[in-house]
Amino acid sequence: MSQEKTFVRRITDELNDFRNAPFKIKVIVISISCIVIFISYNEVFRIPSLKENNSGKTAEIQRLETQLTPFKTIALEKYTGTEQEALRKFAQELEDLKNYVNPLKKPIAFAIAEVEVTIKSDEQVSTRYMGRGGYLAFVKNRQIVLLTSHDESTARQNGKGEVVYMGNFNIQTERSINIGKPVETLKSSDIIQIRFWKIPEGSEVISGKATVIINGDMRFEFEISPQQMKDDKIFISNIKDKFLTSQITRHN
């Protein structure tokens, strides 16, 4: 079997089996593949120009054509149309695959939030509040883009003059305008806003954390910094860095 056919068969098999590959391998392979096909696709349009304007560059033309041959073969086997149209479609398929395996490119379909807030308080409490829960919302330009909430919460005195409030919130699709948009759009939010109905206004927040799980498989961790509540809300401002691919934790 020729080297070209061997190469074509290997690439085709990899594409067919691609969706079963581990996440990190997908990202690496598709990123490299897209770079290669993009370069090759651009170079194919350089060849006629080289032939017309640089007749002395025969060796370079042959090198470009040799590098492009395996990709031409795959593209022409998979798609109809001219050679350039087939290459364009093949490049688009690779780009779509790259977007598929990059979790930040996936549309938001579902989200939950687990929130824990510790305030300074001597209140002796250990209870579950029914009908008095809370919410966590991503806010941009004073508009909620993603809202999670629930009508239950818990509170307990930890013995240190502090009360710990906890809530598990579910997405409210009718009030989340970013539903269906890529996950990465959340990084442009101005703040994350949190409220527990039972936390008194003006409380002193000692610490806290919020875990947001999107689409069931992406986990984002946010620290709640110490702050004096001006009214009944708690804020997180460090958002953007959490949406870097390197910061994503796969949630099982």
Closest Cα partner for 73 from 3, 150, 144, 21?
3
Return the pLDDT at 101: 65
Q: Where are the domains of the chain?
A: 3-101, 107-250
d(CA 215, CA 175): 17
Work out the percent of the chain whose per-residue pLDDT is above 70: 68
pLDDT, mean of residues 214-234: 93
H or E stretch at 23: helix 23-53
> Strand locations in 39-125, DSSP E?
111-120
pTM of the model: 0.63
Q: Domain 107-250: give its CATH code.
A: 2.60.60
pLDDT, mean of residues 187-212: 96
52 token code pair: 């017309």
d(CA 252, CA 174): 27
pLDDT in tens, 116-166: 999 999 999 999 999 999 999 999 999 999 999 999 999 999 999 999 999
pLDDT at 24 over 50: no
Return the pLDDT at 249: 56
153 token code pair: 């919460």
pLDDT at 202 over 70: yes
Question: Model confidence at 27, in pLDDT bands (50, 70, 90)?
Answer: very low
User: Which residues lie below 8 Å from residue 170, measured CB to CB, with a gap of 6+?
Assistant: 111, 112, 148, 149, 150
